[in-house]
Amino acid sequence: MPNSWPCCKNLLETPTCHTAHRFDYNENFHACERYSNGPPFSLRGTVARAVKPAVSRVVSTILPARDPAPPIGTPQVSPMPHSPVAAITDEFSPDLETAARAIASLGMTGAELRMVSGRNIIDLTDKEVDRAIAILRSCGLEIVSIASPVFKCVLPDAPQVDTRFQQDVFAAQHTFADQPRLARRAIEIAGRTGARIVRVFSFWRTVEPDACFDRIAEALAGLAELAAPAGIVIGIENEHACNIGTAPEAARLFARVAHPNLQLIWDPANALVAGESPFPEGYAKLTASRIAHVHAKDCRVTGHTPEWLELGTGSIDWAGQIAALRRDGYCGWFSLETHWRGPAGDRLEASLICGRNLMRMVG
């Protein structure tokens, strides 16, 4: 399987004729097409015809069968009385056993996998993934999301990268050419672990995010088509260092891409760093039924530089945000992504403190 798509030049050469990287997920994982004079072509029919037979052959041997389910985060007939709570394991410790015990001790029931023993989840072997599954299950934790680095890279032939924002890579320094392999592997890992969400991004933020929008929308639509046969949701996280960083940018994306397997991972703190007031102003621009997952962390921001803080003590109105999500029928997970390192620089203690706060907030 090729590891790259061909790179087309002069994407923004003229306002009426664009050459686009088309993320057309066929069996060769690459295609490049040209469109002009009008809105970009739709991937929906083309990808469905080209991809579903090939992907079905793959997922039938790799991924477990799943019952059809409504989009994550939408209201259910009998919602749980309390929201389910998870955490990103490496925020507690790089050692998964230590992290799992700590998360379970808080009464949380879910885990999100991003890094294990200093390595990105996408780089683990099947044997290593199976060991992670066993450790988490032994602590009574469900794997709810694969926090992949997909599309956390430079988009070729785009405007220059906006250097105001810190780029966190979490041991995943991959290039555009690596993305087909990463996308396939992330979906395989989700199927192996039972996770219903694969977290992705929208390429490193450029000085002109609008100039990249059509290509980003096409890429994410392609990922949603790829994930659909396995019953997996592609969760695009609003990330201040990427092109979809704020609520209005996310709302524009979902207005363009209606695919039910593309949903939002709403991160109010990331939106704050990107320069908006995430709640209530930002949240009001979102469609709650497209929110699949919520990341919880807190900070203060100077310019676009965050100072990460104990959850509940920063600039995010978490009590108001949680209440609004519940009012709007959100039944998904709240997942702790601490970032704060605590008064003594102890990430485990900092995450335990923030975890207790989050449990109180959603309890």
Mean pLDDT of the chain: 83
342 token code pair: 């605590």
Q: What pLDDT score does 304 carry?
A: 87
Q: What pLDDT score does 173 carry?
A: 73
In terms of DSSP bridges, do strands 142-147 and 119-120 run parallel, antiparallel, or are they unpaired? Answer: unpaired
**Would you say 84 and 358 are in contact if contact means Cβ atoms under 8 Å apart?**
no
Measured distance CA(5)–CA(271) in Å, rounded: 31
**Would you say 71 and 224 are in contact if contact means Cβ atoms under 8 Å apart?**
no
Measured distance CA(117)–CA(87) in Å, rounded: 16
| Average pLDDT estimate for 176-182 | 95
Q: What pLDDT score does 170 carry?
A: 54
Q: Is the pLDDT of residue 116 over 80?
A: yes
Based on the number of CB atoms within 10 Å of its own CB, is 256 exposed (0-12), middle (13-18) or buried (19 or more)?
A: middle
Of 28 and 82, the one with more pLDDT: 82
Q: How confident is the model at residue 343 (pLDDT cuts 50, 70, 90)?
A: confident
Q: What percent of the chain has a predicted confidence (pLDDT) above 70?
A: 76
**Exposure pattern of 86-99 as b/e (b: 16+ CB <10 Å)?**
bbbbbbbbebbeeb
Reported pTM: 0.80
Q: Is the pLDDT of residue 180 over 60?
A: yes
Domains and CATH numbers, the chain: 17-362 (3.20.20.150)
Q: What is the pLDDT of residues 197-217, one digit of tens each?
A: 999 999 999 999 999 999 999
